[in-house]
Amino acid sequence: MAYFSDKRGRIVTEMSIIRHAEKSFTLITAAAAQWHDLELLKSNVLSGMDVKIVDKSENFSTFIVTGPNSRSLLSEITDADLTLGWLTHQKAKVLDIPCMLARVSFAGELGWEIHVNNEKAPAIYSEIINKEAKPFGMFALNSLRIEKGYKAWKGDLSTDYSLLEAGLDRFIKFDKEVDFRGKKALQVERQRGSKKLFTILKVNTNGCDAPYMSTVWHNGEVVGEVTSGAWGYRVNSSIALCMLKPELSKAGKVVEIEIYGQRCKATVHGQDPLWDPQNLRIRK
């Protein structure tokens, strides 16, 4: 993953980057962010740069094949090396159709993305369904990614928050010689401390999961806000991804989330995922 910040160090967007060669990359973003991210990239190509941007969004489809049985299913229809580790990618054939497979999964389970030309996509989809794979939609994917603490653009990731507030420290190379956009602001924030921190909460819900921008309370004061909420079926709990004051972001702290007019007790879990925190299922 790559995260793009503005001059304040706040999050403008995110993209997955696949490197094919020294100067050849594929940047993958959400469908809703296509025009936004394309404009961002093109507007930052300055005269004299050895950069060429080609938008192939209209040519390709992507399938997410994920779950404990995904390797077994795919082994019957592809010549790809399915033993390659997590976060690898490869060119391969699925049903003799040229594709690119990336071993990633926003669902937090063993899985691959299949990137294929649009005209060939229906054949692959049909065969996957014939293998008794079960289709799932965005509501299911949203629940799965929140259990893993995966952040989503325009909710958990936006210009409301800095890279440090969002807990993305490991993606920042402060010793990098390039003076990347937002570096100075992030260095200052690192020295002074962040005003908020990304935190995962387990919620004693009133029958509804916490919606976006629900207020978080402690001792009668607003101390943060919800950026995503959903029921986690694997952990059997309502979950909220939040931005909280740093002193309340430690595991075990108790706060309240206002859900449709009623304040519900919530316990701070911390920044580690509720589901498979060691990523054993993804790496197997």
pLDDT digits (tens, 9 = 90+) for 66-121: 999 999 999 999 999 999 999 999 999 999 999 999 999 999 999 999 999 999 99
Tell me the mean pLDDT in the region 121-132.
97
184 occurs within a structural domain: no
pLDDT of residue 150 exceeding 90, the answer is yes
282 occurs within a structural domain: no
The percent of residues above 90 in pLDDT, for the chain, comes to 96
Beta-bridge partner residues of 21: 24
225 occurs within a structural domain: yes
Q: 118 with 157, same domain?
A: no
Q: Tell me how far apart the alpha carbons of residues 257 and 226 are, in angstroms, rounded to a whole number.
A: 8
pLDDT of residue 206 exceeding 90, the answer is no
Tell me the mean pLDDT in the region 207-212.
96
Q: 68 with 135, same domain?
A: yes
DSSP assignments along 175-196, one per residue: T-SS--TTHHHHHHHHHH--S-
Q: 66 with 152, same domain?
A: no
pLDDT of residue 176: 87
Q: Tell me how far apart the alpha carbons of residues 150 and 172 are, in angstroms, rounded to a whole number.
A: 17
pLDDT of residue 17 exceeding 90, the answer is yes
The percent of residues above 70 in pLDDT, for the chain, comes to 100
CB atoms within 10 A of CB 210: 29
Q: Tell me how far apart the alpha carbons of residues 173 and 125 are, in angstroms, rounded to a whole number.
A: 40
Tokens of 167: 């807990």
What are 234-261's pLDDT values in tens digits? 999 999 999 999 999 999 999 999 999 9
Q: Rounded mean pLDDT of the chain?
A: 96
Q: 20 with 137, same domain?
A: yes
Residue-range definition of the domain harbouring residue 114: 2-141
Q: Tell me how far apart the alpha carbons of residues 120 and 265 are, in angstroms, rounded to a whole number.
A: 50
pLDDT of residue 265 exceeding 90, the answer is yes
What pTM did the predictor assign?
0.93
Tokens of 2: 């790559």
pLDDT of residue 83: 97
Tell me the mean pLDDT in the region 9-21.
96
Q: 137 with 6, same domain?
A: yes
Q: What is the CATH number of the domain that holds 233?
A: 2.40.30.110
pLDDT of residue 178: 86
What's the structural domain count of the chain? Answer: 2
279 occurs within a structural domain: no
